[in-house]
């Protein structure tokens, strides 16, 4: 698998783009502002989008992506997400007011935008990639994805989450985990805000990481712009034995 980080910041700012990962050219995981830099042929290669949750920094690109692809598509673009996420997109974006309801276009029975509800624990297969949805804890219903290929390589993307009891057992069930991309949005000083908003801070993340078996590489994502160095320093201080990688737009993982 080839996993390209298009955006991984917790907000916008100079050089900061929000969450979007491109897997093997045809699967997008979240569709934040990171998709804006894709080349035209890369945009046209996308056939599936797996959404972690409904927040703007993760769904920003969906309306513009389907608009850009619409006249070129011969097969639908499929959005895989929790039912609550799909409901929010339908009510608040694809409502003819903010954006046309592409689920009805060109006609409802041959729509080129398909929403496919997915439940935690459910596995979708796209080619030789299997994508399992895992429940996490955030301010709105949210999920992470555990992705593996036919050769057994496996990574997990947490999406947005705070302390939770569902991600760790799900990861410990598998026999191999090569990479865990996990969020740590705020610095320890903002622990109260992070708790209320459903995000990790270094102290809570390091505590939860003690529940993870194995020796997966750990990459930190969704850092709020301006807190990057502080958060990475706090993580390193709390768990000096772990080599935390600060995820950056442009990173490519070959798994």
30 binding Zn ion? (CB under 5 A): no
Tell me whether residue 48 or residue 55 sits nearer to Zn ion (CB atom): 55
CB of 160 to Zn ion, least distance (A): 4
Q: How far is the CB of 41 from Zn ion (least distance, A)?
A: 28
Minimum Å gap between C-beta 79 and Zn ion is: 17
For the chain, give the number of residues.
Answer: 255
Number of residues interacting with Zn ion: please give it, by CB under 5 A. Answer: 3
Q: Smallest gap, in angstroms, from Cβ of residue 113 to Zn ion?
A: 22
Candidates 34-42, 91-99, 160-168, 171-179; binding stretch for Zn ion (CB under 5 A): 160-168
Number of Cα atoms under 13 Å in the Cβ half of residue 22: 24
Nearest residue (CB) to Zn ion, 55 versus 103: 55
Task: Identify residues 53-92 at the interface with Zn ion (CB under 5 A).
Answer: 55, 57
160 is an interface residue for Zn ion by CB under 5 A: yes
Sign of CA dihedral 82, 146, 60, 136: positive
Q: Which residues of 112-127 are buried (b: 16+ CB within 10 A; e: fewer)?
A: bbebeebeeeeebebe
In contact, 51 and 61? CB cutoff 8 Å: no
Query: Shortest gap between Cβ of 174 and Zn ion (angstroms)?
Result: 25
Helix (H) or strand (E) run with residue 170 in it: helix 167-172
Site string for Zn ion, 36-55 (x = CB under 5 A): -------------------x
**Which among 248, 243, 188, 244 is positioned nearest to 222, based on CA atoms?**
248
∠ CA 83-6-142, rounded to 5°: 25
| Residues forming beta bridges with residue 123, ordered by sequence position | 132
Residues that bind Zn ion (CB under 5 A): 55, 57, 160
């Amino acid at each position: 698998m080839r996993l390209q980080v298009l955006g991984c910041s917790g907000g916008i700012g100079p050089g900061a783009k929000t969450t979007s990962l491109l897997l093997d050219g045809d699967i997008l995981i979240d569709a934040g502002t990171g998709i804006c830099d894709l080349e035209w042929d890369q945009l046209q290669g996308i056939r599936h989008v797996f959404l972690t949750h409904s927040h703007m920094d993760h769904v920003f690109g969906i309306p513009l992506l389907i608009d850009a692809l619409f006249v070129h598509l011969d097969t639908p673009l499929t959005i895989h997400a929790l039912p609550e996420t799909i409901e929010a997109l339908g009510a608040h974006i694809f409502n003819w007011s903010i954006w046309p309801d592409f689920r009805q276009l060109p006609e409802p029975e041959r729509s080129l935008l398909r929403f496919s509800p997915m439940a935690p624990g459910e596995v979708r297969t796209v080619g030789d990639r299997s994508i399992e949805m895992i429940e996490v804890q955030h301010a709105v219903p949210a999920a992470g994805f555990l992705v593996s290929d036919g050769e057994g390589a496996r990574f997990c993307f947490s999406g947005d989450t705070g302390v939770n009891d569902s991600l760790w057992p799900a990861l410990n069930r598998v026999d191999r985990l090569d990479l865990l991309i996990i969020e740590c949005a705020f610095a320890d000083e903002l622990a109260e805000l992070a708790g209320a908003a459903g995000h990790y801070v270094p102290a809570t993340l390091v505590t939860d990481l003690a529940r993870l078996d194995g020796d997966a590489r750990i990459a930190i994502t969704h850092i709020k712009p301006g807190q990057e160095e502080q958060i990475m320093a706090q993580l390193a201080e709390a768990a000096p034995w772990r080599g935390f990688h600060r995820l950056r737009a442009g990173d490519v993982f070959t798994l």
